[in-house]
DNA sequence: ACTCGCATCCCCCATTTTCGGTATTGAGTG
DNA sequence: CACTCAATACCGAAAATGGGGGATGCGAGT
């Protein structure tokens, strides 16, 4: 298993390199203090996994991860950092990182994480995993999901509206007259405290009052 | 640490109970084959962590997790299952599960997972973790984020529209005439292949063509 | 028996939106 | 320089929407 290190701290970089090289079946094929010309560098060496620091001079680990996943999707990127704030984690995941470990990890943890990454796992410090779950949950279910007391009919009218239908089309869809649709719309407006269809649609989608495709 | 088991397979349930009881500092305070009246049950016993099977007769583990997190937010729920499909994982996370382990885990894994859960971690089989990351990524950045070649002006008009503004208000906001707004709207419609403001708003929000508040 | 919410439909009318044009200006490009 | 294109602006007609009213029937609950 060929590993490539990006880490600006010389001491840590050399320690990691040593750790990897003394571990059976692991080889450190390269180690760099920054991400300058990283695509060119990677083209020249064998690499299965990149051990990537986030905070580096020049190109950040996040940017580097995006570049790597863009050019070599098969390479796993394992983020290692002292930061564990939501924003860093979030960005790392979006950039395509395979895992996220803290520098406080033991050498054994590092090795296990690298092995996990290779075998299709996503190594994470348990506290990071919890953060990811929390982030995930928050993004999925908007906090205060007010109900606005919409009736079933009103919800279905609203749904049709988010699909871009006109009153006339909605009427056809729900087998009622356009006038009825208008009445429902009036009620929706007062309940949602809006006064245009666009605002209603925006509110409906953002507060997921209607089930969207995904 | 008090643990409560929900598992319909008698053999597995008793094995787990034994495993937990023989482990120092762990106690299995209860073990049930189903989730009937689980709130009443939990009120009577001490419980820090629930080890929850997903597939059970009657109330499913997912439903049970929701109920538990609703009534006793402090109790950690650790899902254990043979299924590792995206849908199960997704629902478990949404229900508020603290972790998700496979039944193929070793006894040592179980104990470690329980310990992790208690100390604020989110134990996950590495392959599950990878799935979570993948799910997360997919939900966050809609796959093909087409650009539609909207110009800056068009985007800002679209943004205003998602805020529920009328043409007149947008014109005032952007310091142009209503006629200009109309022209921009026409162009937006053709570029987005829509033919109503509601559809444009829906598309804009769902494909995050405009930056929404969150 | 009576009320109340919900769904349904109707009328009217002002305003807004949609869509078909046309046209000028300025910036950028080959 | 000619050309394209974004941005600006205008006209006008047809269609849709927003807001005001009122009316009916139905079922659930008091």
A129-138 tens-digit pLDDT: 888 888 777 7
Report d(CA B15, CA B33) in Å as an integer.
13
pLDDT higher than 60, residue A213: no
Nearest Cβ partner of B129 from A129, A163, A205?
A129
Residues forming beta bridges with residue B28, ordered by sequence position: B3
CB A71 within 8 A of CB A80: no
Give the residue on B whose Cα is nearest the Cα of A141.
B94
Q: What's residue B51's pLDDT? A: 93
Select from B99, B198, B211, B212 the residue whose CB has the most chain A CBs within 10 Å, as the one to mutate to test that interface. B198
In SS3 terms, chain B reads as: CEEEEECCCHHHHHHHHHHHHHCCCCEEEEEECCCCCHHHHHHHCCCCEEEEECCCCCCCHHHHHHHHHHHCCCCEEEEEECCCCHHHHHHHHHHCCCEEEECCCCHHHHHHHHHHHHCCCCCECHHHHHHHHHHHHHHHCCCCCCCCCCCHHHHHHHHHHHCCCCHHHHHHHHCCCHHHHHHHHHHHHHHHCCCCHHHHHHHHHHCCCCCCCC
pLDDT higher than 50, residue A214: no
Nearest Cβ partner of A198 from B132, B161, B195?
B161
Segment A62-73 mean pLDDT = 91
Strand D contact nucleotides, protein CB < 7 Å = 6-12, 16-23
Is there a contact between A140 and B116 if contact means CB atoms under 8 Å apart?
no
Return the residue matching tokens 């580097």: A64
State the nearest Cα–Cα gap between B151 and chain A, in angstroms.
21
pLDDT higher than 80, residue B139: no
Task: Count other C-beta atoms under 10 Å from residue A44's C-beta.
Answer: 9
Indicate the SS3 state at residue A31. Answer: strand
Is there a contact between A126 and B130 if contact means CB atoms under 8 Å apart?
no
Written as six digits, the tokens of A13 are 């970089």
Please, what is the average pLDDT of chain A? 88
pLDDT in tens, A17-53: 999 999 999 999 999 999 988 899 999 998 999 999 9
CA distances from B165 to A200, B15, B193 (A): 11, 63, 21
Segment B38-49 mean pLDDT = 90
Q: Quick one: what percent of chain B has pLDDT higher than 70?
A: 94
pLDDT in tens, A149-196: 888 889 899 999 999 899 999 999 889 999 999 999 999 999 889 999
pLDDT in tens, B91-103: 888 888 888 888 9
Segment B72-95 mean pLDDT = 86
């Amino acid at each position: 298993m060929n590993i490539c290190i990006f880490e600006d701290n010389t001491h840590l970089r050399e320690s990691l390199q040593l750790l990897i090289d003394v571990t059976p079946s692991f080889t450190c094929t390269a180690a760099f203090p920054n991400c300058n010309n990283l695509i060119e560098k990677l083209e020249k060496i064998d690499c299965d996994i990149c051990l990537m620091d986030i905070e580096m001079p020049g190109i950040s680990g996040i940017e580097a991860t995006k570049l790597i996943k863009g050019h070599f999707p098969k390479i796993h990127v394992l983020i290692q950092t002292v930061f564990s704030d939501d924003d860093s984690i979030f960005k790392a995941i979006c950039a395509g990182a395979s895992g996220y470990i803290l520098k406080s990890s033991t050498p054994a943890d590092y090795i296990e994480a690298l092995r996990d990454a290779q075998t299709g796992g996503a190594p994470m410090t348990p506290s990071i995993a919890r953060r990811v779950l929390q982030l995930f949950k928050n993004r999925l279910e908007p906090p205060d999901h007010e109900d606005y007391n919409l009736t079933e009919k009103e919800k279905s009218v609203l749904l049709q509206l988010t699909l871009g239908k006109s009153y006339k089309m909605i009427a056809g869809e729900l087998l009622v007259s356009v006038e009825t649709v208008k009445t429902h719309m009036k009620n929706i407006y007062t309940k949602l405290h809006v006064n245009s269809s666009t605002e209603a649609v925006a509110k409906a989608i953002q507060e997921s009052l209607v089930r969207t495709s995904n």
